Amino acid sequence: MAAPTTRFRTFPISVTAAELNTTTERLAAISGESVVSTGVGNELDFGIVDISAGAANSLVKMLVWDITADGGNTLVDTFKFWLSLNGFDQAGTIVKYQPISGSDNAAPSTTENYIENAVVASYTWTTLDESEPGAQNVYPTDEGSSMVLSTTADDVVMIALYTAVSADETTGTYKGADAGYEFQYNFQYSYS
Amino acid sequence: MKSLDNCYRRRWELYTTELCVYDSRQTNYKEIEEEVIQIETNVEGKVYIINKFDHDTCKGLIRWRFGGQKWINNILVKIDEWCIGWHDGEICHMKCIQFKDGSMIEKDFDLKEYEAHL
């Protein structure tokens, strides 16, 4: 069997909750979506965070991961997402995350339902690990430990993120492997 | 053949039951109805074998693969690791084999995290 083919997407936080409240909608093209990859211009861009008046937060960004070709496999699980490398000088500069579901998940536990035009106060956040988590730390929208594959996945992993920047952080553009300004994530899953 | 592409010519598994041997290039492990008693993984000329009867506390064999991407020394590396092993009902005792070169390290995992692969 071949490895599954996966993709990362982002979409504007102005997308309404009604546009994301079914699995079919989340798997299909989401309004305003774009591919996230390591290619220049495809980064998940947190924008400019102005710390001239002290510590500040970035905008909230959305990240979606799913499978587009199963490669002969029937299941993916143990999803792990972490901030593998960063060039931040201040320990207080961190990335916060929250797994997100649609409103079709009526009793979210390990996720929270998507909120249109979310701000930092909209969700309950956890500091993103900076090394491989010991266990699954992001979840499909149904909060299962796995997703079934039949050509594509039957669900997506959706994550809200923001960056909290300390007042004394070194200013500059943090991205990719730029020396001193690294900003890189790892994503791992198991499949069979 | 199912999902056979160039990169799998030097990497495959054989699943042995009491009656048959199945090739991973043709058969998904999960679709084998009989109990698998041996897994033989061939990666880049290296061969690793897990046999149920070599482990007194073995309650079954288990296998999965890791996918994804990670950064090593600022180089983006595709995660492609094959794990074959056995479990005692609580812990999975695995041989984790690198897809690229067939090197292997042994690791233990909590079965609860991976029981979907049984």
A19 touches chain B (CB under 8 A): no
Please give the model's pTM, rounded to 2 decimal places.
0.91
What ipTM describes this predicted complex? 0.86
**How many domains is chain B partitioned into structurally?**
1
**Mean pLDDT (chain B, rounded):** 90
Q: Is residue B1 part of a domain?
A: no
Domain hosting B52: range is 6-117
* Measured distance CA(A188)–CA(A133) in Å, rounded: 10
| Residues B67-85 pLDDT 10s | 998 888 778 888 999 999 9
CA distances from B100 to A50, A178, B41, B68, B97 (A): 43, 27, 13, 14, 9
The average pLDDT across A132-152 equals 94
* Measured distance CA(A152)–CA(A67) in Å, rounded: 5
B1 touches chain A (CB under 8 A): no
CA distance to partner chain B, nearest, from residue A107 (Å): 23
| Residues A12-32 pLDDT 10s | 999 999 999 999 999 999 999
The average pLDDT across A187-191 equals 96
| Least confident window among A45-59, B8-22, B78-92 | B8-22
B2 touches chain A (CB under 8 A): yes
B68 touches chain A (CB under 8 A): yes
| Residues A64-107 pLDDT 10s | 999 999 988 999 999 999 999 999 999 999 999 999 999 999 99
Per CB-CB distance under 8 Å, the chain B contacts of A188 are 66-68, 70, 79
Q: Is residue B92 part of a domain?
A: yes
In contact, A105 and A111? CB cutoff 8 Å: yes
Percent of chain B at pLDDT above 90? 68
Q: Is residue B80 part of a domain?
A: yes
